[in-house]
Amino acid sequence: MNISGLINEYGRKYSPYMGDLVNHLPMIQIALFNLYGDLDKVKNFTEAYVEKEKIDLVKEEYPVVSSIEEALGNRELYESCLVLINKEIKEKGVEEVLRRILNTYPLGLSSGLFHTIIRVAYAVEGYKADKDLEEEVARALAYYITAYREGKVFTREIHGYDIIEEMEALINDPNISKIRNSEITMGQKLKTLYNDEEYLKTGFIIEGEEVNKVRFLLNLILPAFVNSNDMVILHCITGLHAVVALKDYFDDFDRILDIITSFIITHLLTVDKLDFTNGNNTFLDFSWRHIICLCKDETDVHALKLTYSCYELGKTHDTVGLKKAIKKRIFG
């Protein structure tokens, strides 16, 4: 069996959902194989994960849907949506269907704490290496659609060099502070922020070229993660990687970066303590090969996904912060 056979075997059997949690297995399978190229390692991890976690099985009976819109935001229609997407892929090809969904529904990029777009990105990267993973792309898209939740996008532009100062201003805003300190869930905080007209006016996007938008976002979220090891911030990093990895499939990538910037900032504001201070660069001399080696026996799914995402981001946006983030996740 090859890697596509392994991923498809489990993907056909298991849902993207684990109760209220996320089935990380297909993402980890792709990340592990791309990092280490060791099929036995992926098999062993897969068996251990399935034994440990209670993953929802794919339903054998489900209703028929006639359009993507019918299944939008309804996780109970995952199987129904998958049938429809597979049909469209057979008729139009995977790339056309992928482009249409991503460009029609970009406001769902942060759905499920960015997990949906992360799975799509990993699936596409796997598909590029092995076309038999076309069906994993279909599963990822069905997950993206059925877990869909919209965020809202800012319009006020700032210079990237002012990003920390602007972020601190949001944190210290009395109205935003009240929401941040309230005893409600993260999801409720997100909804409250997105429904606040004043917040939508004071939130910001970054002016300038695409590469600088990504760089300034990394300058914001990497120190925040290194100083906290916070799970929400970790997913902001892996979510940003997912969008960058899918760049070629978006019609207006500049607009997509404005969207993901708005979503990342809003998610950051649900985190209790935010510290954007940059520490020393003692990790600068560690090569990526060394960093990846540090994770070879890691079993934490988030450490492995972070390693893969940071490694891939490092190919185009290399910064010591990416390596420091991995170190923080592994060693605390």
Instruction: List 18's β-bridge partners, or say none.
Output: 21
Tokens representing 178 are 């009240």
Three-state DSSP class for residue 287: coil
Three-state DSSP class for residue 178: helix
User: Do the Cβ atoms of 145 and 102 come closer than 8 Å?
Assistant: no
User: Do the Cβ atoms of 3 and 33 come closer than 8 Å?
Assistant: yes
pLDDT tens for each residue of 179-220: 999 999 999 999 999 999 999 999 999 999 999 999 999 999
Q: Cα dihedral angle (290, 293, 294, 295), rounded to 10 degrees?
A: 140
What's the rounded Cα separation, in Å, for the pair 10 and 5?
9
**pLDDT score of 319:** 87
Burial 174-190 (b: 16+ CB within 10 A, else e): eebeebbeeeeeeeebb
pLDDT tens for each residue of 93-108: 999 999 999 999 999 9
User: Do the Cβ atoms of 194 and 263 come closer than 8 Å?
Assistant: no
Model pTM above 0.95? yes
**pLDDT score of 1:** 86
